[in-house]
Structure 1
Amino acid sequence: MALDLASLASVRAFATAFLSSEPRLDILIHNAGISSCGRTREPFNLLLRVNHISPFLLTHLLLPRLKTCAPSRVVVVSSAAHRRGHLDFTRLDCPVVGWQQELRAYADSKLANVLFARELATHLEGTGVTCYAAHPGGCCGSDYKQYVFGGWAWAWWCISDTQRISLEIMTLQPRCEDVETAEGVALTVTGVAQVKIMTEKELLAVACEQFLGKNVQDIKNVVLQTLEGHLRSILGTLTVEQIYQDRDQFAKLVREVAAPDVGRMGIEILSFTIKDVYDKVDYLSSLGKTQTAVVQRDADIGVAEAERDAGIREAECKREMLDVKFVADTKIADSKRAFELQKSAFSEEVNIKTAEAQLAYELQGAREQQKIRQEEIEIEIVQRKKQIAVETQEILRTDKELIATVRRPAEAEAHRIQQIAEGEKVKQVLLAQAEAEKIRKIGEAEASVIEAMGKAEAERMKLKAEAYQKYGDSAKMALVLEALPQIAAKIAAPLTKVDEIVILSGDNNKVTSEVNRLLAELPASVHALTGVDLSKIPLIKKATGAQV
């Protein structure tokens, strides 16, 4: 039966022919594939069509027969190149040009194989049909593995599979909480361990087999659980005293027990130390108090014994000291007695010599005193002469000082006063002259003003006289009328302060009527002549009002 994976029609024809001629299908292996590229009449590039689309279609067409013949399987031959694949669904129909794009398209098709196999396996779970994606390996089909550390090696792209694993030192902090010891005391123990993957070829291969593809944290977790398990088991076999008092031995025991199991993983324990040991019931503190009390008791006993030995030794030393002191005091007394006797003999001789020397000294002192007195008298005479000379000089100095401090200043003061008096006299003279000049100037100014005012007044009077002479009685009348308002105002001023006037008369007396008539006619006459309105005066207003 012919099958062309570059054509979907050929795939469907092959499936129809196979199903009609073959009753069983136990295994379906998709091994055909290409690495060069091109295009077909259908969508998608040729490489993706042959490597993935056609195997995908063929699998679904034959899937019912596979289920009927279960258990059966589907094997999709992929490649390690799928790790460099990246499916971009917007570019699946784009042309592939050049070897770089062909390599990328090949990796994309192999990634599609892996994804298809995984999804199909999930979909067929429980049907008896299993699905696998396989990497065929190198061209020679060898399963040889090469481990390289601290160096380099060749790796063929798309053919060789390379993976990395860290050889750095990993720090672990195992912690076991509330683990019961052999005595049933719950302790919490924390430690610090330094581990790393061993580089011996066999052990490195074991480590790679165990941890290749895992990150450092996953490796740490595995080793940490192993160490904590051994730490718990060892804690259950020891007493609190063994754990607490000898931590190094405890850590060494954990390291020796855990090392074989960790070594079978290719891991080496470089160091393991106990960081802290504590409990929640104060057992350790109580244990410490007991040990402290024992140590304190031993110390007190040691101090007491030392004080006892020191007291005994001190008493022996005091006794020896007193014996030596007695012997020494006896010798000192003998020496002192001989010294006093010798001292007395020496003192007697010394006193004799001293008396003789004293007499000779007093005699010589008297002679020296006489000489000193004579020299003192001579000195007094010389001092007296010098004193007289000094007093003479002092008199001359005092006379000059009086001349300099009294007479000369007095003369200078008299001369100063005289100069001040002469200056004051000149000042008064100048002030008097200035004042006289000021008065003369003021007088002249006032005389000019008076003269000007007189001339102006004379001119005014002259003009008035000429006017009076020209207009005669009319000018005089105008002058009188001009003065009448002032006269009337002066006359009426006292009346403004009078509230009322009472006139007393008899029955046949005409004074009252005449006064009333005058008061009634007076305001109009005065107003006509002078322009002064006497009716506004309260008293006149009241009188005329009463008349009306």
Structure 2
Amino acid sequence: MLGYQVPSPDEAMLIAGGKNKGSTPFRVVTGHGAFVLPFFRKARFLTLSMMESEVDERCVTRQGIALNVRAVIAFKVGTDEASIVAAGQRFLSDQDQMSVLTGRIFAGHLRSIIGSMTVEEIVTERQKLATEVLDGSKEEMARIGLGVDALQIQSIDDGDLGYIAAMSAPHTAAIQQAAQISQSQARQAAAEAEQESQRAQAEYARQTAIVQAQYKAEVDQAQASAGQAGPLAAAKAQREVLAMQTELAQRNAELRQQQLVAEVVKPAEADAEKTRVLAKADAERMRIQAEAAASHNRVALDRMLIDQLPLIVREAAAGLNGANVNILNGASGLSEMAASLVGQGLTIFDSIRGNLNGSSAEDAGEPDAPEPERPQLGDGAHPRPD
């Protein structure tokens, strides 16, 4: 837009020609734009960036010794409206004058501060010097709208006077002496370390020789023991071999004995047992056959006698033929008489059978069989002779 202007971020726009609300002679605009009426308003720009100024000043100390001091000051226009107005009124037409004026201001304060200090204080306390210069110039710099950010003392020297060098001589000598002492101590320590190393090497060599001697003695002893142990070991081994061979022979003998028992004794015992069992079986068979034969003969004889029993009874009854026999109790007595006749026949049968059995028993080697009981004639029938 025509007449609208915007300052840079590191600039302040100063607008003159209009009425301002405050007591400032112009309007200050920072960070935004503003409309500037052509022909009726005029805008100028003041830098707010960092600037620097160098000081190279010959100063005299409290001791009257001249020193050349070089310093660098970093400064800028303050950001508040009063500082901008103050700086604008002084430096807007020639802004380079800020560096020149700042250098002169700091040169004056530097001379004043150094004049109240000794060379030793200036050399050893540079930060104190810078702080006092800043504090002394702060109010003056603020009046012209400038603020100091930093002051750096770059160098201090006395030219060819040699005071600073002389001042540092004791320290240099002390440092050199300390350095020499340190070097001497270092050399001594190195020598001691070398000696210790040599002693350690000698001790190591001695210990190594002792160990080697001990090792050689142990090896010789081991070899001697091995030489002596050789025949003993051989004899011991031979004895162990003989013992093992003896044990093996005993085991072979036991195995052979077991083999003989298995192959000869056991079969012979088995054959003998077989023969004994067969003989016993044959004897038992013959006894059984003899018993069977004897039993068969008795059965045949008994059958023959039984077949003859009626004839025997008939003959006994014939003996009563014509005899005068009285029957006392009738039919019962007759039955008893018949039974008596049968009993006599059985008695005769048993007698004959006993004789035959006795002969058979004697032939067989067995005891006679007991004679069985036979019925007797009853009381109701008694034969009487005629």
* TM-score when normalising by structure 1: 0.34
TM-score (norm 2): 0.46
User: Which fold has the larger relative contact order, with Cα–Cα distance below 8 Å and residues 6 or more apart in sequence?
Assistant: 2
